[in-house]
Chain A
Amino acid sequence: MKTSKFKLLVFLSVLGFSSFAQNLDEIIAKHIEAIGGKQNWEKLKAMRTESTMKAQGADIKFISVSVDKKATRQDIFVMGMNGYNIINNSEGWNFAPWQGQTKPEAMTADDVKNAQTDLYIQDEFITYKELGKSIDYFGMDDIDGTECHKIKMTDKNGKETTFYIDPATYYVIKRTSKTEANGQVNENSIFFSDYKKTDFGLVIPMSSSGGWSETGITKVEINPVIDESIFKVSK
């Protein structure tokens, strides 16, 4: 009798797990479809965007250039100053003159290593398996008045990112990342909106906000020709 009960429990557990897994797979599939489909995203090898952040009526401009799995660079133009972040497969630099820096600062080897997964520019729900990330589903949660699917992704280093997917559109409308560095736990959230179809059929959010400011993308180039020397620090 005990054995039968045990088998029944196991069966029910497996059944429960399967239906749960199927549900999550379905959400992810719909999300990928909504943002242009896996095939299109797999064609994405490089991207260049220009964007503007508005804060207190002032503009801060960004130019981001990324080559899939190889390198990324973001230039920031603020108050007449130009700074940047660069990460490639072996090195990384930050230059923030507004913080009083007079020259670029090299990132630590550990930071560069941990940032390698960030060089994957295809949608995170397309690459998570390849990167060995695990995902968990936590039901629905209210984001900006919309009940969203809540999905947490955890990478091999334990870094956690939570996505909130609007069931009406299957777009991600909020992404929260939690990082632990130098003994501190930091949590950052970005809200996404104004999804638009771009070249190759990729649907991306043209607007993002992080609380006190909003950043709008003004130009998107998919797979542009990129001079990879920009991923080396200026001498």
Chain B
Amino acid sequence: MKNILISLFVLSTFSFFAQNAVNSAMFGTMQTRQLGPGTMSGRITAIQGVNNDDGKTLYIGTGGGGVWKSTNAGASYKSVFDKYCQSIGAIAIDQKNPKTVYVGTGESNMRNSVSIGNGLYKSKDGGDNWKKIGLDSTEHISRIVIDPNNSDIIYVAVPGPLWSNSKHRGIYRSSNAGDTWEKLFYIDDQTGCAELLIDPTNPSILFASMWQFRRQPFSFNSGGKGSGLYKSTDAGKTWREIKSGLPEKPFGRIAMNLAPSDPKQMVAIVESTKTGLYISSDGGETWKNQSATMNTCARPFYFSTIVIDPKDPKRVYRPAFQFAYSSDGGYSFTEASSDGGWVHSDMHALWINPSNTNVMYVGTDGGVYLSIDRGVTWQFNHGLPVGQFYHVSIDNKEPYNVYGGLQDNGSWTAPSAAPGGIGNGHWSRVGGGDGFWTVPDVDGKTLYSEYQGGNMARVDMITLKQEGIQPQKTAKDEKLRWNWNTPIVTGANNPKNLYVGAQYLYKSTDQGRNWKRISDDLTTNDKNKQKQEDSGGLSEDNTSAENHCTIFTIAESSLDENLIWAGTDDGNLQVTTDAGKTWTNVSANVAKCGVASQAWVSSIQPSVFDKQTVYVTFENHMYGDMHTYLAKSTDLGKTWKRINHKDFTGFAHKIKEDLVNPNLLFLGTEMGLFATLDGGENWFRMKNNIPEYLMTRDIQIHPKTHDLIIASHGRGIFILDDIRPIRNLTNEIWDQEVYIFPTPDITLNNGKFGWGGPDVSGGWYAGNPPSIPSFDYFFKQRLNSGKVSLEIYDDKGTLLQTMPGTIRRGINKITWNLRGTPPKVAAGSLKMDGAGFTAPMVLPGVYTFKLKVKDKEYVSKVNCIHDAENKNLNLEDRKLVYEKAMQIQKLYNAVNASIDTISNYQAILKADSVAYSKKKHAIAFYDDLQKIKAELMGTKKTSIFADEKRLREKVSELYGNFCWMEAAPNATQLEAIEDLEKDYKTQALALNKVVVKHLPKNPEIKLKKEIK
């Protein structure tokens, strides 16, 4: 049966793209929820503020989450760079015209996981719109400097590519505000510019720190003959190297700055064999070494920021591993206080408000902090959801949870839905260090997490107590090599199987208590790539980030637990069909389809439909090759076909096959999320409320909710709820002008959650998935004229509600609130009455949808079913609740009709106010009516906080209770209906008496036949 379904899918979509161009806009109504969190945020690479607006306008550049803007000094942020590369190296604001902003893409904190950029962008309207203005091949930009006297002159410091030689390095200048560029200063193809300073009092004076650096997959080198400190006094036409007082070369990276209020005062941290802090008081001509703490000078390739207060040349700030400040020009430093809470380590950006230098913002590996006391204490900004996930896992609970590890932010979990939605407070930390794979066990109580270099643990989800489970070297093993991002994987077929990989693959069937090595070394075991202890260059830097010749990817087939694939970081792709007894290396076969031979195997997707079929992504960016590599084999790896598309951008991280439709695949790359509906022939970039160049690291599809769960390296977790409209889009549907998707059965309830009040944790917030399945329809084209509406009828043909519909091309959605039309509220109310916005939830049954599109009508049915899981409300009680709610609605209508009658009489009586004031009978009639009205409704209190309950307010409140009731009503609630009916009867009789009494004395009213 399953095969037949698969065949149908294949046939129906075979010619899909021959005639139609699918793109993300077709699914534009399907918007992801960005789960965040903002609670641990991610790496911040640049902070700039507008100088003269009280420090309210800030631009934040991030390692993988684009650019965010605040107009309220960081109370909230808005993403303003969602259409472009998300790795940000530098931001500059033209302070003479602060709406002009430049963004250099490609972060220059050159760690192993740093991404790449694709050029320089400019906005002339404060970040609303951006235009790319060149430097496309630079890959990394570290600083943008605008001549303070001439906004047309822009300098850009370009370190250039990290993974390859390149001529696109050095210093670039534009003399026309970015229209054209010239290369101003260039050393060689391995040396770029790490820092660039301009003397604000004499913009012809520039300082440049040139840096020679290079990464390979297995090593890092900071330093070389190209590095040096240079000065220009003619606006960059000529450059002179400065050596006086500086240490012996070679240099590595130099962090430096000058005092804006006294530019001859300078500080620099020079990486060399004797890395140290240097001070100049003569404009950089000569330097003097100062003693400095390890924190001040540590890890110069990564901590490259040092800033001097805009007004006080003696106040120096060093955001590095910790935040340190000096009040004596750098002679001594003090570390910031921890009062007010922990401040995330690893700092890369600092902006000091020049108008109030007590106020500053620091960018760390874990978000932005604000200080209002010159850096002594810090407060966290909670609204930046720029966490850098490596992977995401899910469980089968309801609602399900997501789990993942983040760069420098440990491992975390959060529910996919919760009362009130997902706020920062819903996220819980389950592991430390740099987090990677965080995988729940099938027992629902245990998870596996790790930090860098394969340090893994079995974690009790309740207590968070951990037991280390990393397999250890035995006598017959070589030294174990664990990747920075070591795979921990549970079996797709047998979830009790737990796999981890060093150079050998290990398997446990008892939650990591015991391990069995099920392979020999699956890597190339190239000894030349295993010299990590020498890595770092001038500063030794060996944190397992360069560990190589390791297993990077493991995948058990969901169809057969004996079929296991393993991919390495050095190009091997291995497969076993006997649970590891024998392995076949198919990498040579892969190379034949055009995949670079040494590329990392970044993800493996054994098909869930066919054991012979497998999809694999490879990535080779660490050799300077940024191509998107995706390949498919249908014969267990013997032959391969490379899958490529013109729209692909970024090296590939993840391929995910749908669980139902074999033609639906998702591809995550360093620069985007892509989907295909025809098995890989045609692809489109997904833009469903996600950045177009999202660093997509991992993708999951939930088997129960049909959600697409996306882990990004810079924007946290995204969930696209219920992808069935994408999954079900076949050629037959596509060819129709209008198509109505079947609406799944709707369970009648008020959603899964209540609400306990606002989320007090503040910061980032994501809503819940829709609690009611929507009515979905497809338009081949946008409806340019005419209306769309949806009518809902019960089984007797009674129209319950009419709702407006959307007219967009592609998928449209209308959500029926499962209720009829609310009652009308009488005119003359003094307060809002909630009854006017609600009606009882319908009873179980089949309801008819009529979609009216201009003059055409499309009919479908939906089955609304009783919520059997709700033990507080059986079907009989549900019927009783409905019946009583309608009874109260009838009462409510009667009360409003009486109020309307009174208001109409009163309007006629007072139509001529002068005549009215002279008519005694009219005044008496009016006043008697008003007395009744004052019993029927509140007539005195207008404030929403003033409680004046009269009959209508009481009826309205009881009506609301019954409309939203999800339990059997209690006796007092039922009794209250009768009491209110009696009260109304009393007032209706009183009204009748007043009318009978006064009407004959007010003959003008007799003529008004319309009054009842």
Contacts of B817 in A (CB 8 A): 56-57
Nearest B-chain residue to A59, judged by Cβ: B824
Cβ contacts A96-116/B at 8 Å (1 or 0 each): 011111100000000000000
Contact of B942 among A100, A146, A206 (CB under 8 A): A100
Pair B837/A193 contact, Cβ less than 8 Å: no
Contact of A57 among B129, B826, B830, B839 (CB under 8 A): B839
Is B784 within 8 A of A145, CB to CB? no
A57 touches B809 (CB 8 A): no
Tell me, yes or no, whether A19 is within 8 Å of chain B by CB.
Answer: no
A171 to B784 Cα, complex, angstroms: 9
Is the pair B128, A152 in contact by a Cβ cutoff of 8 Å? yes
A-chain residues with CB within 8 Å of residue B28 when the two chains form the complex: 142, 144-145
For the complex, give the distance between the alpha carbons of A166 and B829 in Å: 43
Asked if A57 contacts B942 (CB within 8 A), the reply is: no
Residue of B nearest to A99 (CB): B944
Question: A80 touches which one: B128, B787, B829 (CB < 8 A)?
Answer: B829
Interface string of B811-844 (1 = CB under 8 A from A): 0000001011110011111111100111100000
A193 and B829 contacting across the interface, CB-CB below 8 Å: no
**Quick one: which of A79, A144, A162, A171 contacts B825, CB cutoff 8 A?**
A79
The answer for the CA separation of A78 and B128 in the assembled complex, in Å, is 36
B786 touching A80 by the CB < 8 A rule? no
On chain A, the residues within 8 Å of B751 by CB distance are none
Identify the closest chain A residue to B26 (Cβ).
Answer: A145
Q: Is B533 an interface residue (CB 8 A)?
A: no
Q: How large is the interface on B (under 10, 10 to 19, 20 to 34, 35 or more residues)?
A: 35 or more
B800 CB to closest chain A CB (Å) equals 9
What's the minimum C-beta distance from B690 to chain A, rounded to whole angstroms? 13
Does chain B have a CB within 8 A of A123? Answer: no
**Which of B125, B785, B802 is A152 in contact with, Cβ under 8 Å?**
B125
Interface centre among B785, B801, B820 (most CB of A within 10 A): B785
Contact with A along B781-805 (1 / 0, CB 8 A): 0111111000000000000011110
Among A57, A80, A166, A171, contact of B822 (Cβ-Cβ < 8 Å) = A57
User: What residue in chain A is nearest B779 (Cβ atoms)?
Assistant: A145
Instruction: Determine the distance from Cα of A49 to Cα of B785 in the docked complex, in whole angstroms.
Output: 19
Main secondary structure of the interface of A (DSSP, over half): strand
When distances are taken between beta carbons in the complex, the residues of chain A under 8 Å from B806 are 144, 209
- Check A58–B836 contact: CB distance below 8 A: yes
Indicate if the CB atoms of B804 and A207 lie closer than 8 Å. yes
Query: A25 within 8 Å of B by Cβ?
Result: no
Closest to A162 in B: B128
Neighbouring A residues of B839 by C-beta, 8 Å: 57
B820 in contact with A166 (CB, 8 Å): no
Give the nearest-CB partner of A101 in chain B: B942
Considering the complex, which residues of chain A in the window 107-140 have a beta carbon less than 8 Å from any beta carbon of chain B?
Answer: 136, 138
A214 at the B interface (CB under 8 A): yes
Residues of A near B786 (CB, < 8 A) are 194
The CA of A151 and the CA of B873, in the complex, are separated in Å by 55
In the assembled complex, B528 has its CB within 8 A of some CB on chain A:
no
A144 touches B785 (CB 8 A): no
With A57-B822, A100-B944, A185-B71 already in contact, the answer to whether A146 and B787 are too (CB < 8 A) is: no
| Residue A70 lies at the interface, judged by CB distance under 8 Å to chain B | no
With A100-B943, A207-B804, A209-B804 known to touch, is A58 a contact of B837 (CB < 8 Å)?
A: yes
Q: How far is the CA of A129 from the CA of B28 in the complex (A)?
A: 35
Residues of chain A with a CB closer than 8 A to B122's CB: none
Interface flags for A153-196 (1: CB within 8 Å of B; 0: not) read 00000001010001011010000001000011100000001111
Cα–Cα distance between A195 and B784 once the two chains are bound (Å): 7
- Distance of A184 from chain B, by nearest CB (Å): 8
CB of A216 within 8 A of chain B?
A: yes
Distance from A66 Cβ to chain B, minimum over Cβ atoms (Å): 24
Is B782 a contact of A144 with CB atoms below 8 Å?
yes
- A147 and B821 alpha carbons, distance in the complex (Å): 36
- Interface readout for A52-90 with B: 1 if CB under 8 Å, 0 if not? 001111100000000000000000011111100000000
- Tell me which of B28, B180, B896 has the highest count of chain A C-beta atoms within 10 A of its own C-beta: B28
A101: chain B residues at CB < 8 Å are 942
Query: Quick one: given A57-B817, A97-B942, A98-B832, are A144 and B809 in contact (CB under 8 Å)?
Result: yes
- The reply to whether A160 and B827 form a contact with Cβ atoms under 8 Å apart is no
Query: Is residue B808 contacting chain A, with contact meaning CB distance below 8 A?
Result: yes
Q: Which of A21-53 contact B (CB under 8 A)?
A: none
Tell me the bound Cα distance from A68 to B787 in angstroms: 29
Chain A contacts for B205, CB-based, 8 A: none
B809 touches A56 (CB 8 A): no
**B contact residues around A195 at 8 Å (CB):** 784-785
> From B810, which residue of chain A is reached at the shortest CB distance?
A145
B948 CB to closest chain A CB (Å) equals 13
Selected contact of B809 from candidates A79, A98, A146, A169, CB within 8 Å:
A146
Known A-B contacts A145-B25, A145-B28; A138 and B129 likewise in contact (beta carbons under 8 Å): yes
Instruction: Give the CA-CA distance A5 to B26 in the complex, in Å.
Output: 47
A79–B829 touching, CB < 8 Å: yes
What is the CA–CA distance of A196 and B820 in the complex, to the nearest angstrom?
30
Min CB distance, A14 to chain B, in Å? 13
A80 touches B837 (CB 8 A): no
Which residues of A lie under 8 Å from residue B829 when comparing CB positions? Answer: 79-81
Residue of B nearest to A196 (CB): B785
With contact pairs A138-B129, A146-B25 given, residues A194 and B785 touching in the complex (Cβ less than 8 Å): yes
B687 interface residue (CB < 8 Å to A):
yes
B819 pairs with A168, CB closer than 8 A: no
B801 touches A57 (CB 8 A): yes
A-contacting residues, B683-722, CB 8 Å: 687
> Is B500 at the interface (CB under 8 A from chain A)?
no
Is there contact, CB below 8 Å, between A55 and B810? Answer: no
Contacts of A80 in B (CB 8 A): 825-829, 833, 836, 896
Q: What 0/1 readout, one digit per residue, does chain A (192-235) give for beta carbons within 8 Å of chain B?
A: 01111000000000110100001010000000000000000000
Given the interface pairs A58-B836, A152-B128, the reply to whether A97 lies near B827 with Cβ below 8 Å is no
B787 adjacent to A207 (CB under 8 Å) = yes
B44 close to chain A: CB less than 8 A: no
Whether B129 pairs with A79 at a CB distance below 8 angstroms is no
Contacting A56 at CB < 8 Å: which of B783, B785, B831, B837?
A: B837
> Which residue of chain A lies nearest to B829 when distances are taken between CB atoms in the complex?
A80
Contact of A160 with B837 at beta-carbon distance under 8 Å, contacts A144-B808, A145-B28 already known: no
Contacts of B784 in A (CB 8 A): 166, 168-169, 171, 193, 195
What residues on A are CB-neighbors of B808 within 8 Å? 144-146
Given contacts A100-B944, A193-B783, A216-B804, contact A79 B128 (CB under 8 A): no
Residue B807 at the chain A interface, CB threshold 8 Å: yes
Q: Which residues of B contact A166 (CB under 8 A)?
A: 782, 784
Is B819's CB under 8 angstroms from A57's CB?
yes
Q: Which residues of A contact B71 (CB under 8 A)?
A: 185
Q: Which residue of B lies closest to A215 (CB)?
A: B804
| New A-B contacts (15) at CB < 8 Å, excluding given A57-B821, A97-B942, A194-B785 | A56-B838, A57-B801, A57-B820, A58-B837, A79-B836, A81-B832, A100-B944, A136-B124, A136-B129, A142-B25, A144-B782, A162-B128, A166-B784, A171-B784, A194-B786
Q: Can you identify 11 A-B contacts, CB atoms within 8 angstroms?
A: A56-B837, A57-B839, A77-B827, A80-B826, A81-B828, A100-B831, A138-B129, A144-B808, A183-B72, A185-B71, A193-B807
Which 4 A-B pairs rank lowest in CB-CB distance, beginning with the nearest?
A: A80-B829, A145-B809, A144-B808, A214-B804
